[in-house]
A and B are shown apart, each in its own frame.
Chain A
């Protein structure tokens, strides 16, 4: 994705508190346990076990998951589309 910036994405994730549910490398606190740990996310090939792991899909998913994948329990998060692209970029840096 052009212009997406992983470093900015990490800050966005820290700010809105994604780590309340996920343990995320690069975010020291909290290390939530409600959702899956995100270490190694880049290597997975499905988002939430169902969606193709593509940047555009991932960016839409982290911003408004229920819209992209009806029935998912991951909630919509208060971030802009641009921030969502940055978050996706950061997630793709998370090697196993």
Chain B
């Protein structure tokens, strides 16, 4: 049989490419970083060529060539003057190329707080006064063509936010707020990954950014806002189990009495592309597997296994959560 494969490496159905292609920018902020990387790479190739040529001369060259290259002038020019000129030019070029990363976002830009938690992401969409308008987790929706400012924070240890096709990496540091801008040129789902080792299941701490056409994006947000106030109780078994099995101690579902904040907000879990923080496709089967024994899937994460629940209960919980849209 061929090499074992994994569900995480099969997430192409969720977002294009996994691991996310690092040099395939989908927006201007990743774009400038990618151009700079290629320029540096090209220069490194040239320098390597020059060094190898010099080595060739040293090993196989004639006496005359060697003595000419071994003089003081070559050292001063090639070893000091040239690097100073080239590196300074590169510095100026690099800084101007990536200036778009440091400039403040246009006034009125959408702001979202993303908090790294061991080992998932808390997402809070802010309104214009900076108050939390909507909670979510592990997935971020943005409008295409608009700069979105992320306020990156951490609830525990250092994490690093990285959605390669939209941005570089930026650390999330306890007690600090680091600002990052992202912008997508095209609609689509973009995969991300925590890029700073944060303990146990760090490698299974993924993230998804979904970019929509602006009109579509505003419709989604308006729908969510409208649903907040009035979520009719489902009255079903799943809803009762959510309370009796203790899920509500850690999970919040807006518009219901369930208001735990220790785990990801599940208000819109039915619409998520993934489960378990960007690591599994989201369907009834994976939802049941996660609820029944999240420890088998993501060992060490902070959700307890529910091996004591009968399979019917797990299914009914999954049916209930599927409807949280």
A interface size (C-beta, 8 A): 28
Judge if A20 is at the interface, Cβ distance under 8 Å. yes
**Which of A7, A14, A33, A75 is B307 in contact with, Cβ under 8 Å?**
A33
Contact B314–A32 (Cβ < 8 Å): no
Q: Does B286 contact A (CB under 8 A)?
A: yes
Q: Is the CB of B6 within 8 A of A34?
A: no
Instruction: From B5, B289, B307, give the contact of A27 (CB < 8 A).
Output: B5
Whether the Cβ atoms of A20 and B286 lie closer than 8 Å is yes
* A17 & B5 in contact (Cβ 8 Å cutoff): no
Q: How far is the CB of A32 from chain B (nearest CB, A)?
A: 4
Q: How far is the CA of A66 from the CA of B318 in the complex (A)?
A: 15
Assess whether A10 is in contact with B5, with CB atoms less than 8 Å apart.
yes
| B contact residues, total (Cβ < 8 Å) | 31
Among the listed A19, A28, A34, which residue makes an inter-chain contact with B292, where contact means beta carbons less than 8 Å apart? Answer: A34
Known interface pairs A33-B296, A34-B292, A75-B315; A28-B285 also in contact (CB < 8 Å): no
A18 lies within 8 A of B5 (CB): no
- Is A39 interfacial (CB-CB < 8 Å)? no
Q: Judging by beta carbons under 8 Å apart, are A32 and B315 in contact?
A: no
- B311's partner among A10, A11, A34 (CB-CB below 8 A) is A34
Question: In the complex the two chains form, is A14's CB within 8 Å of B312's CB?
Answer: no
Q: Which residues of A contact B285 (CB under 8 A)?
A: 16-18, 20-21, 75, 77
- What 1/0 mask marks residues of chain B from 288 to 325 whose CB sits below 8 Å from any chain A CB? 11101100111000000101000110110010000000
**How many angstroms from the CA of A15 to the CA of B315 in the assembled complex?**
21
A1-30 interface bits toward B, Cβ cutoff 8 Å, 1 = contact, 0 = none? 000000100110011111111000111111
Asked, given contacts A7-B2, A21-B292, A34-B314, whether A29 binds B283 with beta carbons under 8 Å apart, the answer is: no
For window 244-291 of B, CB contacts with A under 8 Å fall at 280-281, 283-286, 288-290
A-B contact count (CB 8 A): 97
On chain B, the residues within 8 Å of A17 by CB distance are 7, 280-281, 283, 285-286, 289
- Whether A14 touches B7, Cβ cut-off 8 Å, given contacts A20-B280, A75-B284, A76-B284, is yes
Q: How far is the CA of A78 from the CA of B287 in the complex (A)?
A: 13
When distances are taken between beta carbons in the complex, the residues of chain A under 8 Å from B98 are none
Contact B293 A34 (CB under 8 A): yes
Contact assessment for A32 and B289 in the assembled complex, using a CB-CB cutoff below 8 Å: yes
Q: Does B108 contact A (CB under 8 A)?
A: no
CA distance A10 to B280 in the complex (A): 16
Give the complex CA separation of A35 and B285 in angstroms: 10
Known contacts A17-B285, A26-B4, A28-B4; is-contact A73 B312 (Cβ 8 Å)? yes
Known: A20-B286, A34-B288. A15 touches B311 (CB 8 A): no
B72 contacts A by Cβ under 8 Å:
no
Q: Mark B198-213, 1 if CB is under 8 A from A, else 0.
A: 0000000000000000
In addition to A21-B285, A21-B288, A73-B315, 19 A-B residue pairs with Cβ atoms within 8 Å of each other are: A11-B5, A11-B10, A14-B7, A20-B286, A20-B289, A20-B290, A21-B292, A26-B2, A27-B4, A28-B5, A29-B8, A30-B280, A30-B289, A30-B296, A31-B296, A34-B311, A75-B315, A77-B285, A78-B283
Q: Nearest 9 CB-CB pairs, A to B?
A: A20-B289, A34-B292, A73-B311, A28-B4, A29-B6, A21-B289, A75-B284, A17-B286, A33-B296
List residues of A whose CB falls within 8 A of some B CB: 7, 10-11, 14-21, 25-35, 73, 75-78, 93
Binding site for A on B (CB under 8 A): 1-2, 4-10, 13, 280-281, 283-286, 288-290, 292-293, 296-298, 305, 307, 311-312, 314-315, 318
13 CB < 8 A contacts A-B: A7-B2, A17-B280, A17-B285, A18-B285, A21-B285, A26-B4, A27-B4, A27-B7, A31-B296, A32-B292, A34-B314, A35-B289, A73-B288
